[in-house]
Amino acid sequence: MKKVFDLKSPFYGEIVKLVTPIVLQNLLSAAVSSADVVMLNFVGQSSISAVSLASQYANILFMVFYGLGTGATMLCAQYFGKKDFQAIEVVQGIALRFSLGISLVVALLALTVPNYMMLVFTNDPELIQIGAEYIRVLSVCYLCWGITEVYISILRSVGRVVIGTVLNTVAVVLNVVLNAVFIFGWLGAPKLGAQGVALATSISRLIELGLCFVVSARSPQIKLKLSAIFVRNKVLFKDFVRLSLPALANDVVWGVGFSMYSMIIGHLGNDAVAANSLATVVRNFGTILCFGLASAGGILLGQRIGEGRLEEARLDGSRLLWLTVASGALGGAIVLIARPFVLMYAGNGNFTQTALDYLGVMLLINSYYIMGCAVNTTLIAGAFRAGGDSRFGLICDVIDMWVYAVPLGLVAAFIFKLPVLWVYFLLCTDEFVKWPWVLKHYRSGKWLKNITREDIFESEKA
């Protein structure tokens, strides 16, 4: 235990170097979401609710790209420990093959049937109309994400996290400025409301993609080569499918599960949707450090394992877990401190009194819910994936969300017709239900494995 809290350990210095730009990047992403809500509050509660529901598709896609990216990171971080850059390039091409295929399908649906996509989350005609316009314009953004998220994940896996932060900073600043321009009609632009949010996001993501190619042209080793999509390597493809696709499925299961929560709340009325959308924004700020630690910790542990330093990786995993507990407590405190200011802001805007009452309780629930998210995310998406163990998280989340939380929410909302806040409380028990199994699996050490291979390309030639 003394070794875990030894502040002289190089782990703490390395984690700070990695986590700082990642946290900044996550903070900027959360800032965009909050800017959307803040500006749309001056347009109307319906616009906030519609964008919140329509954004569920972007959230699901983001989880797909995050799953592909972290799945690729599992392999790339360990191969970087071996300094095998050829393997990293091939893995990137495989990840892009999947991400572009998925984003193309969703973009086509968004262009052709956005109204039906909104019907999944609400039957309110006004919300469907606003949300459909938002989804259609955002289709361009989906295609850009399919490339940028994978490339930035690969850069992270080799320790180049600052580049991703700079790219996101440019995209976020541009997004916020364009939000104001298109929502309020500044600089002679038309007032587009919710549609303006989508347009601003699409333009900023297009520019971010262009900057990725600029970075690639100046990078000596990690290039963004779309031609890598066509490179075939049976060994690495099998490893990617075996290790990365369970991570992808895990994140999709998790992302779609959370969208089901929004769907359940979406059918409980406009007030519930508006309160949940603002509560989610505040919670996202509280989880920034937790999720940053998960990403940075996974990269460090993966590199340790790739170098064959398994015992050191086990000890660093314990250090990562204690840091996560501290960050979860800090995140909860942030939500509690922000609560009165958020309620004051919402009260001065277009929120009804019922929505304000919902919001106040939802923020209290989120103040402790963050701890559950923090521990599970760090272990499942950080430590376990660093060792190539992506199946456990998939099985765990399938059972937790689709056998427990989603059915519980549906029964509570539509059969027993419980009050909105009781439904919300029950949905927010999901993270704590899986704690015993997640912690037990962590202590077992079964996740700690070196997944790299020797002579990959020689065996391919043979």
Q: pLDDT tens-digit profile of 254-275? A: 878 887 888 898 888 888 988 9
pTM exceeding 0.85: no
What is the C-alpha to C-alpha distance for residues 157 and 154, in angstroms, rounded to an integer?
5
Higher pLDDT residue, 388 or 413? 413
Question: Helix and strand tally (H, E) in the chain?
Answer: 19, 0
Neighbours of 149 (CB within 10 A): 22
How many degrees, rounded to 5, is the angle at CA 80 between CA 396 and CA 171? 75
75 DSSP 8-state letter: H
- Whether 2 shows a pLDDT value over 60: the answer reads no
Q: Which of 39-48, 167-176, 281-290 has the lowest mean pLDDT?
A: 39-48
Find the radius of gyration of the CA atoms of the chain: 22
Average pLDDT score over residue span 132-157: 85
Q: What is the dihedral of CA 349, 281, 327, 323, to 10 degrees?
A: -170
pLDDT at 457: 60
Average pLDDT score over residue span 7-35: 76
Q: What is the dihedral of CA 173, 175, 181, 183, to 10 degrees?
A: -130
Higher pLDDT residue, 337 or 254? 337
Q: What is the band of 3 on the pLDDT scale with cuts at 50, 70, 90?
A: low
Average pLDDT score over residue span 52-63: 78
- Whether 228 shows a pLDDT value over 90: the answer reads no
Q: Which residue is listed with tokens 């297009």?
A: 206
How many degrees, rounded to 5, is the angle at CA 311 between CA 326 and CA 8? 50
pLDDT at 462: 47
Q: Which of 20-29, 194-203, 353-362, 448-457 shows the highest mean pLDDT? A: 353-362
Q: What is the band of 427 on the pLDDT scale with cuts at 50, 70, 90?
A: very high
Average pLDDT score over residue span 399-411: 94
Widest CA span in the chain: 71
Average pLDDT score over residue span 371-387: 88
Q: Which of 35-39, 82-86, 116-120, 226-230 has the lowest mean pLDDT?
A: 35-39
Higher pLDDT residue, 56 or 365? 365
What is the C-alpha to C-alpha distance for residues 434 and 437, in angstroms, rounded to an integer?
6
- Whether 119 shows a pLDDT value over 80: the answer reads yes
Q: Which residue is listed with tokens 């920034």?
A: 288
42 DSSP 8-state letter: T
Average pLDDT score over residue span 282-289: 87
- Whether 82 shows a pLDDT value over 80: the answer reads no
- Whether 124 shows a pLDDT value over 60: the answer reads yes
